[in-house]
């Protein structure tokens, strides 16, 4: 798939969100003996589903002419982040709960979310959708902070191994 049109940009974005869902589902399975981790990873997976829904609705709100337009130059530089994330590769680098936590932080604070925010800013069909979408992202990031607080320090998370 190319990355030259708005339509392709949305497809890449939705695909990246699905990959993130797979990553969180894998983490929930890997840490099934740790209730806090399972709930967190399950919630994050559900958030990715909501991100997919928002992106799908935004894409659907565009005209056939607009969806075929070229990607805005300021979005083009962020696209490569979508091409580099792999749930399987990320899982292979995750040896304990601390690694999982760091992988989540790296993923959620990466260019992936910057592009998601840019798509909302450029293509949200109205101010209410834009506001709700940004609130959803903020809530998603607050979950990471709450997980950090609920699972102790680095040493404690290093002691939690996959089931």
Give 10-residue mean pLDDT values along the chain (163 residues): 78 89 96 97 95 93 93 72 77 94 88 78 87 88 94 96 94
The predicted structure's pLDDT at residue 157: 96
The predicted structure's pLDDT at residue 83: 61
Report the domain count for the chain.
1
Place of tokens 């997919």: 52
Taking the C-alpha atoms of residue 100 and residue 162, their distance in angstroms, rounded to an integer, is 10
Asked if residue 163 is part of any domain, the answer here is: no
Contacts of 44 (CB under 8 A, 6+ apart): 20, 24, 104, 140, 143
The predicted structure's pLDDT at residue 118: 83
Asked if residue 142 is part of any domain, the answer here is: yes
Asked if residue 70 is part of any domain, the answer here is: yes
Asked if residue 1 is part of any domain, the answer here is: no
Does the predicted model carry a pTM greater than 0.95? no
The predicted structure's pLDDT at residue 3: 62
The predicted structure's pLDDT at residue 1: 46
Let me know if 34 is exposed, middle or buried by CB neighbors in 10 A (0-12, 13-18, 19+). Answer: buried
Domain range for residue 137? 6-158
């Amino acid at each position: 798939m190319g990355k030259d049109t708005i339509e392709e940009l949305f497809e890449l974005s939705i695909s990246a969100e699905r990959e993130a869902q797979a990553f969180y589902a894998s983490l929930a399975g890997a840490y099934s003996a740790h209730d806090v981790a399972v709930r967190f990873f399950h919630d994050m997976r559900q958030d990715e589903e909501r991100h997919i829904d928002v992106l799908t609705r935004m894409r659907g709100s565009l005209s056939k002419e607009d969806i075929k337009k070229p990607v805005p130059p300021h979005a083009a530089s962020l696209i490569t982040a979508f091409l580099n994330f792999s749930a399987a590769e990320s899982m292979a680098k995750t040896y304990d709960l601390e690694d999982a936590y760091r992988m989540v932080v790296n993923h959620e604070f990466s260019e992936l979310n910057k592009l998601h925010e840019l798509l909302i800013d450029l293509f949200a069909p109205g101010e209410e959708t834009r506001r709700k979408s940004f609130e959803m992202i903020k809530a998603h990031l607050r979950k990471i902070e709450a997980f950090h607080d609920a699972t102790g320090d680095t040493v404690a998370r290093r002691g939690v191994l996959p089931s």
